[in-house]
Amino acid sequence: MESIYDVIRRITPPDEAARAASKARWDSLAKPLGSLGLFEDMIAKTAALRGNADVRLRDRRLLVFCADNGVVAQGVTQCGSEVTAKVAQALAEGRSSVSPMAALADCRVTPVDVGMLDFPGHPGVLSRRVRSGTADISLGPAMDREKCLAAMEAGAALAKHCAGDGADILLIGEMGIGNTTTAAAVVSVLLGLDPAVVTGRGAGLSDEGLSRKRAVIEQAIAVNRPDPDNPVDVLAKVGGLDLAAMCGAYLGAAAYCVPAVIDGFISAAAALCALRMCPAAGKAMLASHVSAEPAGQILMDALGLEAPICARLCLGEGSGAVALLPLLDMALAVYHSGQSFKRLGIEAYTPQN
């Protein structure tokens, strides 16, 4: 397995000639210039990533990275860690919330165990276990640096495998009770923001629960003192195995030139870690929606991305990323329609000053 730093060294700049060719195709179609907005940008960005303006997204894969977080012991969630495994099994069996959405969008769903607590395995759950859950971040580091790197490398290796196996697009999701707490801690450190600004109710905490969650994050940061200039240190100290694996998947997607769709708050926090490790990794990132969590828009701004869906989504499991696929399909239907100005006998639009 490649080290994460070897993966990063593989990341090259986007192909601007392919981006220009994609834009030229869009501009040749019989419609106002740029009138499909973000979707035109996303297709052109994918062309630049792949080095080919003939963008097709036939093979779609949702990777749901599953792990447990020791901070659950501090009462920051409505339910216990056992729910992570139950949802992972439901994902494998096509019974989770995202499953019918993915079926409609013709997207394969793969739950990946990178660190569920005492998980014995289950058919359809891909095992990339690094350790059995993480430690309680309010008392000390979530994990050591070596385990964090191992999770990142597992995510990158999976992205490499998918790219080599013909995947046209990856969707990066997660499942892990307590991971809105770890994600908020990571975002708070990386962006230098007070935990109160970036911490939300997760799966529906009360006012008392939200106050407790914020206090736990403040304590975790004070106890661990993560280095905001070192994303690996931040992930190891106050993050989680799912976040680390997702970070690695984004880096792997950029290295092996397959677009990676960001889901919600937790997925975006992992994307921010990847971007901080390698700014060039942003060439592979596509935004899906603005999470309903308080830091949803903050993260989009930090990533330099604009999300097309603003629907107060906060389900997780990669559901927001899946919701993007039908929109991309519609844009691609226009892109490949061949209904050019010339074909329709219409004088082409030109940019107006």
Residues 140, 248, single domain; the answer is yes
**174 located within any domain:** yes
Domain that includes residue 22, residue range: 4-54+335-344
**353 located within any domain:** no
The amino acid that residue 110 corresponds to is T
Residues 67, 205, single domain; the answer is yes
Q: How far is it, in rounded angstroms, from Cα 199 to Cα 248?
A: 24
**351 located within any domain:** no
Residues 36, 178, single domain; the answer is no
Contacts of 62 (CB under 8 A, 6+ apart): 98, 102, 107, 108, 109, 110, 170, 171, 173, 318, 321, 322
**350 located within any domain:** no
**31 located within any domain:** yes
Domains: count for the chain: 2
Residues 174, 251, single domain; the answer is yes
Digit-coded pLDDT (tens) for 229-238: 999 999 999 9
Residues 175, 34, single domain; the answer is no
Digit-coded pLDDT (tens) for 239-252: 999 999 999 999 99
CATH of the domain at 124: 3.40.50.10210
Residues 24, 165, single domain; the answer is no
Residues 22, 166, single domain; the answer is no
Between the alpha carbon of residue 187 and those of residues 177, 191, 242, 244, 342, the distances in Å are 18, 6, 15, 13, 50
**352 located within any domain:** no
Residues 34, 106, single domain; the answer is no
Answer yes or no: pTM beyond 0.95.
Answer: yes
CATH of the domain at 43: 1.10.1610.10
Digit-coded pLDDT (tens) for 109-167: 999 999 999 999 999 999 999 999 999 999 999 999 999 999 999 999 999 999 999 99
Residues 177, 305, single domain; the answer is yes
**349 located within any domain:** no
Residues 321, 214, single domain; the answer is yes
Residues 70, 47, single domain; the answer is no
pLDDT tens string, the chain, 353 residues long: the values are 899 999 999 999 999 999 999 999 999 999 999 999 999 999 999 999 999 999 999 999 999 999 999 999 999 988 889 999 999 999 999 999 999 999 999 999 999 999 999 999 999 999 999 999 999 999 999 999 999 999 999 999 999 999 999 999 999 999 999 999 999 999 999 999 999 999 988 878 888 878 899 999 999 999 999 999 999 999 999 999 999 999 999 999 999 999 999 999 999 999 999 999 999 999 999 999 999 999 999 999 999 999 999 999 999 999 999 999 999 999 999 999 999 888 888 888 888 77
Residues 107, 137, single domain; the answer is yes
Contacts of 186 (CB under 8 A, 6+ apart): 234, 235, 238, 239, 243, 269, 272, 273
Catalytic positions, written as ranges: 317
Closest CA to 72 of 156, 143, 142, 136: 136
